[in-house]
Structure 1
Amino acid sequence: MARKKGQEESQNGSPAWMTTYGDLVTLLLCFFVLLFAFSTIDAKKFEAIMQSVQGSLGVLKGGQTINETPFVNEALNEEQTTKELQELEDFKKLQEIIEKYLEQNGFQNEILVDLEPRGLLLRFKDNVLFDSGKADLKGNANETLVFLSDLLKQEEFKEKYIRIEGHTDSDPIINIRKYPTNWELSVARASNVVRFLIEQAGLQPDRLSASGYSQYHPIAPNDTDGNKGKNRRVDIVILRSDFVKSEPYY
């Protein structure tokens, strides 16, 4: 019995419904690709899903990791940028609160508050915290340090690290056996501020560090009494997270 030409082509090729099915699957694939393109990737969830899939399929780790893909790197960069912006806003908020307090208490000309690359700087003239040639905190300095410590206990600042830095002018120490050079004086002043913040104000010790720089980090030439007064200072630096990571002792 002779077969028709159309019947022979139908039997030799795929069934007609496969063409429609293939078109449908292709359209679905395009649809999900578009959804993925418009979505925002959560890097941590994406990595967890991929690790789960690898484990269920018995895929061993090796070769190029999922962390090196452009999408994940972009998501991680966005997350890091968001954290940095939030930290900057927190520092600005803290700066405004401190400046308002200083103005209300008449310290606006004695204590500088400034945002710098390593964090929020509070610069105390030495006569605000100490008498000349001494490292014992003055009585009226306690209130300011307690106010500052209360701010640093708040939720957005409770994990910030704080460095206390002592500085002097270039004049040598005269007739003070307890502090034979400016090194001892600068270190003692920074250490006493740290002790007060721990023992009296209740800050966690692991958040604090003390440094003494003697006369070797001036902010003005030591050529006039006014400039020497600028160099005699104690700096309290509330450190940015990125700066802390670069420090070897944290």
Structure 2
Amino acid sequence: MARRHAKHEEEEHENHERWLISYADMITLLMVLFVVMFAISNVDQKKFAALSEGLAAGFGAPRYIVSDGGQAVIDGKGAMIDPVQVSVIAPPVPVPPAQGETALEQASPADAAEAQQAVGDAQAELASLDEIAAEAREALATEGLESRADFRVTEDGLVVVLFADDVFFTSASAELQPTGARVVDALAPVLADSGRPVDAEGHANHLPVRSTSAYPSNWELSAARAASVVRRLIEVDGLDGSRLTAAGYSDTRPLVPPSDPTSIEVNRRVDLLVRSTARPEVRALLPQLAEARRTAAG
């Protein structure tokens, strides 16, 4: 009798491609994540362009729109022009009703109100700094010292530039000369009445100090000159020392480049910075408003 053959059952093979399912799920989730991140980070370009155009119209400046995908600039009439750098913000001027509703009015009311508030605060802060400068000029003129200082407005506030030639300090010295002391004394009441913090900033020209000098470098010399001015304001003129600071910048912040024939005298100076206490977005507008006013005055 023939022996039956045992039934042969093949072993079930393990599926080695199951990882593809998990991999596909992971790729799908990553794609969804990137789409969501892009969606929430995309800036509303139309609202931003409308606000920028409205602010430009309110300041009396021509309206320019940067086209997408390049650096070309299109004016309000659709003509291509070369890119320009805007460095001056003119004072606000009324927009004639015939021009219709401006883009600023179409922008978010909160954004438009915030921008207008910043401009208004900057104009008020500039007027306050101008008043301090006018009082300082008058005080110097009374003493016949009006030519001994210059005034300019920066983002930090009002800078009173005291040219530190031999009238203020002798060469390689930080001791205030009599005329320099008179200038500081004339300015002291104005600085006290302002109620603002005041920084004395010492600067030097590019020439190294002499080997016989008491100061190893222009860093020590510029800092010592600033400290001499602060000490005079406190000990002689009675200003509150908690409102004053002194710092030296050596030759790192020149008014004119070393190649300028006047650099030796002009860059050797002490600046008195009457600080602006406005918020940063307001202070950022101060130099532009001051330049626009200077340009308008001719």
Q: Fold match, TM over 0.5?
A: yes
2:248 paired with 1:212: yes
Post-superposition offset of 1:210: 1.0
Q: Aligned equivalents of 1:153 and 1:110: distance in 2? A: 20
List aligned pairs for 1:147-186, cutoff 5 A: 147-154=186-193, 157-158=194-195, 160-186=196-222
Distance (Å, rounded) in 2 between the aligned partners of 1:192 and 1:244: 30
Q: Which amino acid aligns with 2:273?
A: V
Check if 1:132 corresponds to 2:171: yes
Q: CA 1:189–1:239 in 2, change beyond 3 Å: closer, same or farther?
A: same
1:59 equivalent in structure 2: none
Give the TM-score of the pair, scaled to structure 2: 0.51
Which sections of structure 2, spanning at least 5 residues, go unmatched? 1-107, 282-298
Counterpart check, 1:234 vs 2:273: no
Deviations 1:128-160 (A, max 9, x none): 321121101112222321221211222xx21x1
Unaligned runs of 5+ in 1: 1-69, 246-250
C-alpha separation in 2, matches of 1:243 and 1:90: 15
User: Cα distance 1:74–1:136, how it changes in 2: closer, same or farther (>3 A)?
Assistant: same
Comparing both structures, which one devotes a greater share of its residues to helix?
A: 1
Correspondent of 2:136 among 93, 98, 122: 98
RMSD: 2.8
CA contact 1:220–1:228 (8 Å) conserved in 2: no
Query: TM (normalized to structure 1)?
Result: 0.60
| Aligned sequence identity (%) | 28
Describe how 1:48-87 pairs up with structure 2 within 5 A: 84-87=122-125
User: Quick check: 1:167–1:231 contact (8 Å CA) kept in 2?
Assistant: yes
Native 8 Å contact 1:173 1:181 kept in 2 = yes
C-alpha separation between the residues in 1 aligned to 2:112 and 2:186? 41
Work out the number of aligned pairs and report it.
Answer: 174
**1:120 aligns to what?**
158
The letter for the 2-side match of 1:123 is V
